[in-house]
Chain A
Amino acid sequence: MQELGKVESNSTRIIRQDDKRVTIEKDLDTEHMVLSMGPQHPSTHGVLRLECITDGEVVVEAEPYLGYLHRCFEKHCEKIDYPAIVPYTDRMDYLAGMNSELAYCITVEKLLDIEIPRRVEFIRVIVSELNRIASHLVAIGTYAIDLGAFTPFLFCFRDREHIMNLLEWISGARMLYNYIWIGGLAYDVPADFKKRVDEFVTYFRPKAVELYKLLTENEIFVKRTYDIGIMPADVAINYGWSGPMLRGSGVKWDLRRNDPYSIYPELDFEVPVPDGKFSVVGDCLSRHLVRALEMEESLRIIEQCLAKMPEEPNFNSRALIPKKIRPKAGEVYGRAENPRGELGYYIVSDGKSTSPIRCKARSSCFVNLSAMKDLSKGQLIPDLVAIIGSIDIVLGEVDR
């Protein structure tokens, strides 16, 4: 009797008997297979590689591999001046450039301890809420496409185009704005800005309802996301989740409310949290639901800002920008609520140099993605796609 080969310990063996017959031992085990998903895979939203160990259709473990887009953001920051970092922050979360700029600028302003003109604050909030809607539209559209629904994607991108046009009109760029500067803005808004933003709000409100009916209440979509990838609230907090991910797990935590910055304390808006009637709290559908409902809240914020924004003829948005930005020695951790969660910057200044000696970006997707290994255990492969989509990652921010 000669053993020709064996797979995994003693369970599966190919044996040649003495009379030259080849037999296979009966007590077969299914073998684990390694399936590499990505780096070039449409549903990983960029260059992310997931190394899945699968048992048939079930994922035993999925290990994310990152770094394909690593551009040494933090090393660059140590070489360039404070204002020159702003364009780099655009390139991290390229779907929500305004929000990334805002987070960086308020952090440096906290270190500088300077006052910001009120009109600037309102414009900042309006553009970042517009950008939040645009970012959620991409998140929702691409999530639908991951799950096989093409139409909502086209609806989302049609509406997003309006926002892109508005922001291009204000700043001159469609995605990488460099509009919010430390201490001010690159330009004041054009003359009939209020009118056009108001037009957009009137246009978009029914479209958001339409999108909700088309996708969120769609039976097939609900079946694909309901009760999939559940994350309990305490584990979500332990993983450092933030933004729609954490709220999807039922924790009412929004930095615009809980650590307010800019003019958010003056504004009236809800923090949507799933109540468990339509979805299971913490599943993929809840996370999608939070994003869908947040767009309406952003519209409300924009409306209030338009009404309250002070009119100042010949307003110079660069008037209060310091000539040379050299903060006193110290360190600061500042953050803001991005569409994807808490974007934080840890900045250290030595008081002598005009560039930070340390600038760390705490990326929300990076932290949210770190729970992937836990979330994917025991899920079906098609559900894995639903889970990655619900995390809504932007690899530019994950890899920095």
Chain B
Amino acid sequence: MEEAANQMSPAVRESKTAYDNIRERFGDAISEFDANPTMPFFEVLDASRWVDIALYMRDNSLLQFNYLACLSGVDYPEEQKVGIVCNFECIGKYTHRIAVKVKCQRDGGSIPSVSCVWHTANWHEREAYDMYGMVFEGHPDLRRILCPEDWTGYPLRKDYQVQETYHGIKVPY
């Protein structure tokens, strides 16, 4: 175990320290730490605690993840799930970064919204909803953002079939 910790690059070790802090507070609600060198992450297993975890990550004086760099929707067809990947970092006191994954059921699944924690999440969650169709509970304004509001289907899902016509216009070209 210790040997593995020694092989980590300094950046991954920083993420691991941050992860240990969150793990101590939330225990089994989050998964084991994935210490890959390109994007170390952990997964939130109990999605209902996602907002609590988010608030803790932002407000804890040892973490201070005040900057949500990116929030991307992802499709996991083999698990029958869709999810989001958030990349966090701290502007100011610390230099640590970490990524967090949250998943939900593919059909009718929902993830709690963190747009009240980071304003960045507002539009990014709208985009994820637009492209993947997961619902963000508690989002103040969950509408499509890039596609027209009467578009059908969620374009970035792997099994997406484009509609034949849109307002009488042929869509596939």
Chain A interfacial positions (CB closer than 8 Å to B): 66-67, 70, 72, 74-75, 110-111, 234-235, 237-240, 251, 253, 258, 330-333, 335, 342, 344, 346, 348, 358, 360, 362, 366-367, 370-371, 374, 399-400
Counting chain A CB atoms within 10 Å of each CB, which of B73, B87, B91, B95 scores highest?
Answer: B91
Q: Contact between B91 and A237 (Cβ–Cβ < 8 Å)?
A: yes
A238: contacting residue among B73, B74, B95, B120, CB under 8 A: B120
Interface size on B, residues (CB 8 A): 31
Does any Cβ of A come within 8 Å of B146's Cβ? yes
Nearest CB in chain A: distance from B10 CB, A: 13
A367: contacting residue among B95, B99, B123, CB under 8 A: B123
Q: Contact between B38 and A331 (Cβ–Cβ < 8 Å)?
A: yes
Does any Cβ of A come within 8 Å of B69's Cβ? yes
Contacts of A75 in B (CB 8 A): 155-156
Q: Contact between B72 and A346 (Cβ–Cβ < 8 Å)?
A: yes
Q: Contact between A333 and B156 (Cβ–Cβ < 8 Å)?
A: no
Known: A239-B120, A367-B123. A111 touches B66 (CB 8 A): no
Residue of chain A at shortest CB distance from B128 = A360
Does any Cβ of A come within 8 Å of B131's Cβ? yes
Inter-chain pairs besides A67-B148, A74-B131, A237-B66, 5 sampled, C-beta below 8 Å? A66-B146, A237-B67, A253-B91, A330-B36, A331-B38
B68: contacting residue among A67, A111, A240, A358, CB under 8 A: A240
B119: contacting residue among A74, A110, A239, A332, CB under 8 A: A239
Nearest CB in chain B: distance from A291 CB, A: 20
Q: Which label, helix, strand, loop or mixed, suits the secondary structure of the A interface?
A: mixed
Nearest CB in chain B: distance from A278 CB, A: 24
Q: Contact between A240 and B146 (Cβ–Cβ < 8 Å)?
A: no
Contacts of A240 in B (CB 8 A): 67-69, 118-120
Q: Contact between B38 and A111 (Cβ–Cβ < 8 Å)?
A: yes
* A–B complex contacts, Cβ < 8 Å, 8 sampled: A239-B119, A240-B118, A330-B38, A330-B39, A333-B70, A346-B70, A348-B74, A370-B122
Q: Contact between A399 and B68 (Cβ–Cβ < 8 Å)?
A: no
Residue of chain A at shortest CB distance from B67 = A237
Going nearest first, the 6 A-B pairs with the smallest beta carbon separation are: A240-B120, A360-B72, A332-B38, A362-B70, A370-B123, A67-B146
Q: Contact between A342 and B69 (Cβ–Cβ < 8 Å)?
A: yes
Residue of chain A at shortest CB distance from B131 = A74
Q: Mark interface residues in B123-155 (1 if CB within 8 Å of A CB, else 0).
A: 110000001000000000000111110000001
Does any Cβ of A come within 8 Å of B85's Cβ? yes
Nearest CB in chain B: distance from A118 CB, A: 22
Known: A67-B148, A240-B68, A362-B69. A333 touches B119 (CB 8 A): no
Nearest CB in chain A: distance from B124 CB, A: 8
Known: A358-B72, A358-B74. A344 touches B87 (CB 8 A): yes
Contacts of B70 in A (CB 8 A): 333, 344, 346, 360, 362
Counting chain A CB atoms within 10 Å of each CB, which of B39, B75, B144, B147 scores highest?
Answer: B39
Complex alpha-carbon distance, A258 and B95, angstroms: 8
Contacts of B69 in A (CB 8 A): 240, 333, 335, 342, 344, 362
Contacts of B95 in A (CB 8 A): 258
Contacts of A332 in B (CB 8 A): 38-39
Q: Contact between A333 and B39 (Cβ–Cβ < 8 Å)?
A: yes
Complex alpha-carbon distance, A189 and B74, angstroms: 39
Complex alpha-carbon distance, A332 and B70, angstroms: 12
Contacts of B74 in A (CB 8 A): 348, 358
Complex alpha-carbon distance, A346 and B156, angstroms: 14
Those of B79-117 within 8 Å (CB) of chain A: 85, 87, 91, 95, 99
Complex alpha-carbon distance, A183 and B81, angstroms: 34
Complex alpha-carbon distance, A346 and B87, angstroms: 9
Those of B1-51 within 8 Å (CB) of chain A: 36, 38-39
